[in-house]
Homo-oligomer: A and B are copies of this chain.
Amino acid sequence: MNKNLKELADLSGGQLKGDGGVVICGVSEPDTARPDQICLVASKKYVEAARQSRAGAFIIQQGLPDLERPVIISDNSHLVFARIVEIFAEDAGTFVPAGIHPSAVVSKTAVIGKSVSVQAYAVIEENAVIGDNSVIFPFVYVGRETKIGRQALIYSGVSIRERVKIGDRAIIHSGAVIGNDGFGFAREQAGTYKKIRQTGTVEIGDDVEIGANACIARATLGKTRIGSGVKIDSLVQIAHNVSIGDNTIIVGQAGVSGSVVIGKNVILAGQVGIADHVTIGDNVIVEAKSGVHKDLAAGKIYFGYPAREQKEAARNLAEIQQIGKIRKRLKEIEKKSGI
């Protein structure tokens, strides 16, 4: 497919500068781009690579130096980039076989919407519901009474246990597990543990993406709740009874313990850990690898273990670097003062 730059600017909401007639047939990275491709220049760091590139045009963040080539300018160049990538992306749907593969095991009581693709060796149990236009890849297990909304993409090897609810336009990557038992045990006198039956479930909003091999446990009682627009990366663990507000982002290998409440628009960076029963306010950012064991106030950035406000955490790190100097000064004082 071809588009000229003027069309791309109009479709993506960016502002054209230079020759709108340049024909573009794909998006690439600066070092491998051809003259019929466009590249993203999101920050100063990429300007030099852009200048060296053979790309025919650029999507450029407002305020960056002129590249002397046709560009689409935006104050949100990432968003314009996302829209243009989408224009050129092969539509995954094109490759999806329609209908129910003869090898799929679909219960007679399951309700399958219109234009759903259920691929080879998917298993859909009693009274499960799959919304219109959803795609169920091979080796997906959908437990009884689980409901998946419309336009879902459930990749190969995903397990969704019984009685889970998932909204529209979900994307769930391979190997993710939704609705496994929460990790709850009561200690018995002998030192053994008795399992606390996990009779609750998981409820997930619309437009949620869940990463490969991520695990979202069902609640002991009630529900583990994932708000709409939440994006969860690979290998993330969400424990039982957690509640996550809309449009929160949880990056790879982060872990959220039982009964944690997370607000809206929060970012938990990679490998972060949140202790159980903690509450995290809206718009909080927790930086990578931090460990949180107390409530975090809304709108602030936290770092470290135990996590502190970023400035304080940075000051602590800097102070540690001063200890050697302190010891020298102390020695000098002791020497000179004869104490």
Contacts and interface: CB of A to CB of B under 8 A. Distances in A.
A317 interface: yes
A294 interface: no
Give the most central of A144, A191, A249, A332: most B CB within 10 Å: A191
A215 B211 contact: yes
A165 interface: no
B138 A123 contact: yes
A123 B291 CA distance: 41
Contact of A159 (B83, B174, B221): B174
Interface residues of A, number: 112
B105 A120 contact: yes
A52 interface: no
Contacts of A123: 119-121, 138-139, 156
A257 interface: yes
B234 A237 contact: yes
A275 B288 contact: yes
A255 interface: yes
Interface stretch (A14-22, A62-70, A73-81, A128-136): A73-81
A222 B305 CA distance: 36
A275 B337 CA distance: 47
A159 B215 CA distance: 16
Give the secondary structure class of A's interface: loop
A228 B275 CA distance: 27
Nearest to A139: B139
Interface string A146-166: 000000000111010110000
B326 A337 contact: no
A257 B270 contact: yes
30 contacts: A27-B199, A32-B222, A78-B186, A79-B187, A82-B184, A85-B197, A85-B199, A90-B199, A95-B144, A121-B139, A123-B139, A137-B141, A155-B159, A155-B180, A157-B157, A159-B175, A173-B181, A175-B177, A192-B247, A213-B235, A234-B237, A235-B237, A235-B255, A237-B252, A253-B253, A270-B273, A316-B320, A323-B323, A326-B326, A329-B334
Given A78-B186, A174-B177, 5 more contacts: A28-B222, A141-B157, A180-B211, A191-B264, A235-B235
